[in-house]
């Protein structure tokens, strides 16, 4: 039996990490208002912020799977594809929805995706010679297939973190990196598995979360929900 994992994200990095681990997920990006989620929190603690955002993403997809009438145009096209894939799950079997969110704590401020060239350039300048901490929230929720759809079972959440030690980055290098557009849509404005990796000298902490999803932490959360990690393996190395 192979359990199914739905990833509440369209992040290419997270998709790649899971797929390389033998768990190609069904991707259904969560359509949430991250600013609204943060505004409702009574804390600016980085770990709590990213965990709350991860929970919001996983819960959003969980609600759409258990209440299909709540689908709206923003969810419809991708959601229909995922739901069709899940129709083959027999009644009584379970699936897991995983949501993640990453933010960088740099100079006392939480940084998300720069989105623009100007903000990315400013952020890269700040990263030069700095040692920020990347926090990645994870939420996993279990659903069970019934004869009429899916029912909500349980939810667990936690976070990973790692401190990154950046080398000095020249103004010319910063501008060249920002021009590639790679840092514009990634948390913290850098990648470790892409062009930005050359600027990171060392890491202290969980290295997996830096790419957007910590496999050891996801395994731990799924164990808490009663899932057996090898049951999620769909593609083994010698079969790919």
- Could you list the active site residues? 101
150 contact partners, CB below 8 Å, separation of at least 6? 65, 66, 86, 95, 143, 144
Largest CA distance in the chain: 60
Q: At 39, which helix (H) or strand (E)?
A: helix 34-40
For residue 103, the 8-state DSSP code is E
Query: Whole-angstrom Cα distance, residue 198 to residue 173?
Result: 11
Judged on CB neighbours under 10 Å (0-12, 13-18, 19+), 184 is: middle
Query: Whole-angstrom Cα distance, residue 21 to residue 187?
Result: 22
- How far is Cα of residue 95 from the mean position of the Cα atoms in its chain? 18
**CA torsion angle 190 195 197 201 (round to 10):** -100
205 contact partners, CB below 8 Å, separation of at least 6? 133, 160, 161, 162, 163
**Torsion sign, CA atoms 13, 211, 195, 45:** positive
Query: Whole-angstrom Cα distance, residue 35 to residue 66?
Result: 25
């Amino acid at each position: 039996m192979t359990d199914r994992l739905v990833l509440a994200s369209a992040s290419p990095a997270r998709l790649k990490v899971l797929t390389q681990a033998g768990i190609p997920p069904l991707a259904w990006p969560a359509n949430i208002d991250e600013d609204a989620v943060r505004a409702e929190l009574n804390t600016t603690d980085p770990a709590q912020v990213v965990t709350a955002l991860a929970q919001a993403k996983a819960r959003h997809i969980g609600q759409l799977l258990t209440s299909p009438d709540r689908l709206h145009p923003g969810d419809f096209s991708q959601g229909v594809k995922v739901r069709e894939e899940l129709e083959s799950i027999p009644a009584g079997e379970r699936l897991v929805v995983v949501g993640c969110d990453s933010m960088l704590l740099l100079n006392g401020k939480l940084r998300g995706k720069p989105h623009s060239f100007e903000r990315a350039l400013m952020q890269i300048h700040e990263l030069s010679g700095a040692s920020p901490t990347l926090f990645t929230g994870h939420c996993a929720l279990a659903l069970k297939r019934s004869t009429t759809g899916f029912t909500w079972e349980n939810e667990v959440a936690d976070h990973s973190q790692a401190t990154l030690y950046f080398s000095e980055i020249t103004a010319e290098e910063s501008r060249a990196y920002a021009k590639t557009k790679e840092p514009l849509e990634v948390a913290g404005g850098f990648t470790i598995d892409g062009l930005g990796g050359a600027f990171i000298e060392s890491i202290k902490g969980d290295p997996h979360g830096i790419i957007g999803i910590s496999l050891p932490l996801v395994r731990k959360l799924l164990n808490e929900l009663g899932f057996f990690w090898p049951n999620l393996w769909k593609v083994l190395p010698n079969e790919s």
